[in-house]
Amino acid sequence: MKFQPIGLLALCCVAGVAGAAQSAKTQTFAGSITDSECATANHSLMRMGDTDAECVQMCVDAHGATYLLTDGKTSYQLSDQKTPAPFAGKKVTVTGTLDEKTHTITVTSIVAAR
């Protein structure tokens, strides 16, 4: 069987994409669920509620903020914006894959920290 140059190039591209997809490694991240208005989890400036959880939820609901995970130094975007809701303002462990360029975690699971 003889490969055409274009067919061989297409095969190489598909193999490269498949290899890149497999290189994303599932990781575990610990931190607090906050929002993009208070990315450092310092809710004292906004204080949109009596608790951090209320502030996070109000910023998401009233201001169109998004849920983030912060570890105190770095904040990560979360691909899933429904699962974090019950954990607003709480310490959690997020499992997923990190896109280092966009600082976005593709969320596999979120559980309360122990």
- The residues, any chain, with a CB within 8 Å of residue 45's CB and separated by 6 or more, are 38
Residue 77 resides in a domain: yes
Q: Please give the tally of structural domains in the chain.
A: 1
Q: Is residue 7 part of a domain?
A: no
* 12 domain-assigned: no
Please check whether residue 29 lies inside any domain of the structure: yes
CA atoms within 13 A on the CB side of 15: 6
The confidence score (pLDDT) of residue 27 equals 97
pLDDT in tens, the chain (114 residues): 554 555 544 444 444 444 444 457 999 999 999 999 888 777 777 677 888 899 999 999 998 999 999 998 999 999 999 999 999 999 999 999 999 999 999 999 999 998
Cα(40)–Cα(94) distance, rounded to whole angstroms?
A: 17
Q: Which residues pair with 67 in a beta bridge?
A: 35
* 110: phi then psi, degrees, rounded to nearest 5: -135, 130
Residue 45 belongs to a domain with what CATH number? 2.40.50
Residue 57 within a domain: yes
Count the neighbouring beta carbons within 10 Å of the beta carbon of residue 90.
16
